[in-house]
């Protein structure tokens, strides 16, 4: 004999499709850190009319529908620089930011794409108007999309073969 009694304040179970609509929405992006022989970081400057105009940042961007972070990293790197990697980049960290410019939570995946050959030239997309290789020590007064502690932690992870967990751009 079944002796279970429904709880008087039990909420009805939503069908899966309806339940999914109640979950938080998060923007997901992927970025690639590339170094040269002197351990300088490749950064791109956003062109005018871009939301981050004038700021320097790593190549990368948001995932397309159905795309995974690794695929997005490779695609964004190629679209923004013309660089096609000969092997998959290595995950070196992620960053969770609770709210970015009022759009809600963002999770950024960061990958190390290896070393840039000295003769390689960057073919920028229209989204950017400049590119350069920067030592971390030269970025103190540079307007950045990522905080300097973020770039420093990612740089260290790339050089040491480790990965870093970031929250709001800061190592945890």
Give pLDDT, residue 14.
87
Average pLDDT of the segment spanning 10-28:
85
Give pLDDT, residue 88.
94
Mind listing the pLDDT tens digit for each residue in 50-104?
989 999 999 999 999 999 999 999 999 999 999 999 899 999 999 999 988 888 8
Give pLDDT, residue 10.
67
Both tokens assigned to 159: 């050089």
d(Cα 7, Cα 32) in Å, to the nearest integer? 51
Answer whether residue 35 shows pLDDT above 90.
yes
Give pLDDT, residue 4.
67
Give pLDDT, residue 104.
87
Answer whether residue 6 shows pLDDT above 90.
no
d(Cα 121, Cα 105) in Å, to the nearest integer? 34
Give pLDDT, residue 12.
74
- Domains belonging to the chain, first-starting first, are 24-171 (3.90.79.10)
| % of the chain residues with pLDDT over 90 | 78
Answer whether residue 115 shows pLDDT above 90.
yes
d(Cα 29, Cα 93) in Å, to the nearest integer? 12
Average pLDDT of the segment spanning 118-135:
94
d(Cα 47, Cα 137) in Å, to the nearest integer? 24
Give yes or no for a contact between 55 and 136, defined as CB atoms under 8 angstroms apart.
Answer: no
Q: What is the pTM of this model?
A: 0.89
| % of the chain residues with pLDDT over 70 | 95
DSSP string, 97-109: ES-STTS--EEEE
């Amino acid at each position: 004999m079944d002796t279970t009694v429904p709880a008087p304040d039990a909420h009805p179970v939503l069908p899966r499709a309806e339940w999914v609509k109640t979950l938080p929405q998060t923007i997901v992006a992927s970025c690639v850190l590339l170094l040269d022989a002197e351990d300088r970081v490749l950064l791109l400057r956003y062109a005018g009319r871009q939301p981050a105009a004038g700021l320097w940042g790593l190549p990368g961007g948001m995932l397309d529908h159905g795309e995974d972070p690794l695929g997005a990293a490779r695609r964004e790197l190629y679209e923004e620089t013309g660089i096609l990697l000969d092997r998959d980049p290595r995950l070196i960290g992620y960053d969770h930011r609770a709210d970015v410019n009022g759009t809600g939570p963002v999770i950024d995946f960061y990958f190390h794409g290896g070393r840039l050959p000295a003769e390689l030239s960057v073919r920028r997309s229209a989204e950017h108007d400049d590119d350069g290789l920067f030592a971390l020590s030269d970025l103190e007064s540079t307007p950045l999309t990522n905080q300097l502690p973020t770039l420093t932690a990612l740089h260290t992870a790339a050089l040491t073969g480790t990965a870093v967990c970031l929250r709001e751009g800061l190592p945890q």
